[in-house]
């Protein structure tokens, strides 16, 4: 298979315990092996040593760091990085060592036939309440939008420039679950999509930076409120 240059994206907030090893793992496994590729990291208002660690890594790796003075969140960080990305393909993954960089190749081999590939956590290593939330979310979204995803909100995705252009054409609605909305946009715009099983690890340090337990009730409420808006915006025939 001919390799296609891509942009590898990580969005990071207070991951000092793991970020150094994680960035180097993704760089070695993907960027170094595909000529012409780049690695973009959003340094999202970090208040620990994450920013300092990333700065240190730039001395030995050609990383593109996008710093923000305050935390802007996952959705805005993703938009910033997509606008910056120059690759023919876009790959992004959640930080926190929840994924295995080697799984990238499982989805990369599909990109010649599919526009949008997303991982799904075959065996989720999450607390019970996150397992329940994930099941409920996938069931609800699949029924409401008549789609078929095993793990629609999975933060391990690869897509081409056509999909990127479509994503940036919209003002997104969701904030905490933007990867869900990204998947819906891909389907609504008629792109060929596929899910591939990937490995999932439990967080080694602390709880989720993007959606900790205390924010889950509010996030669920916002998704329920947003469902009609998402359908009207992306799936309306008019």
Give 46-56 pLDDT, tens digit per residue.
999 999 999 99
pLDDT at 119 over 60: yes
Structural contact between residues 50 and 12, judged by C-beta atoms closer than 8 angstroms: yes
Q: b/e for 207-225, b at 16 or more Cβ within 10 A?
A: ebbbbeeeeeeebbeebee
Structural contact between residues 17 and 83, judged by C-beta atoms closer than 8 angstroms: no
Domain locations in the chain as residue ranges:
6-234
Structural contact between residues 13 and 207, judged by C-beta atoms closer than 8 angstroms: no
How far is the C-alpha of 40 from the C-alpha of 92, rounded, in Å?
Answer: 9
Per-residue model confidence as pLDDT tens digits over 159-176: 999 999 999 999 999 987
pLDDT at 209 over 60: no
Average pLDDT over residues 74-94: 97
CATH class of the domain whose range is 6-234: alpha beta
Per-residue model confidence as pLDDT tens digits over 125-147: 677 677 888 888 899 999 999 99
Per-residue model confidence as pLDDT tens digits over 85-107: 999 999 999 999 999 999 999 99
Using alpha carbons, select from 8, 11, 19 the residue that is nearest to residue 203. 19
- Mean pLDDT (the chain) is 91
How far is the C-alpha of 138 from the C-alpha of 150, rounded, in Å?
Answer: 7
Structural contact between residues 25 and 93, judged by C-beta atoms closer than 8 angstroms: no
Average pLDDT over residues 223-235: 94
Average pLDDT over residues 15-35: 96
């Amino acid at each position: 298979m001919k390799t296609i240059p891509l942009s590898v994206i990580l969005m990071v907030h207070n991951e000092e315990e793991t970020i150094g090893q994680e960035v180097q793992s993704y760089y070695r496994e993907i960027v170094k092996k595909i000529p012409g590729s780049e690695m973009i990291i959003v340094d999202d208002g970090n208040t620990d040593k994450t920013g300092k660690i990333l700065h240190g890594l730039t001395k030995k790796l050609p990383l593109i760091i996008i710093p923000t003075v305050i935390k802007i969140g996952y959705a805005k960080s993703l938009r910033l990085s997509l606008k910056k990305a120059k690759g023919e393909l876009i790959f992004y993954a959640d930080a926190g060592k929840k994924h295995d960089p080697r799984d990238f190749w499982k989805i990369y081999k599909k990109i010649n036939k599919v526009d949008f590939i997303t991982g799904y956590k075959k065996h989720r290593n999450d607390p019970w309440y996150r397992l329940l939330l994930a099941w409920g979310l996938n069931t609800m979204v699949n029924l409401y939008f008549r789609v078929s995803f095993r793990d629609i909100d999975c933060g391990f995705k690869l897509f081409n420039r056509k999909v990127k252009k479509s994503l940036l054409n919209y003002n997104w609605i969701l904030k905490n679950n933007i990867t869900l909305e990204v998947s819906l946009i891909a389907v609504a715009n008629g792109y060929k999509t596929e899910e591939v099983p990937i490995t999932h690890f439990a967080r080694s340090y602390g709880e989720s930076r993007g959606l900790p337990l205390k924010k889950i009730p509010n996030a669920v409420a916002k998704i329920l409120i947003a469902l009609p808006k998402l359908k009207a915006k992306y799936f309306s025939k008019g």
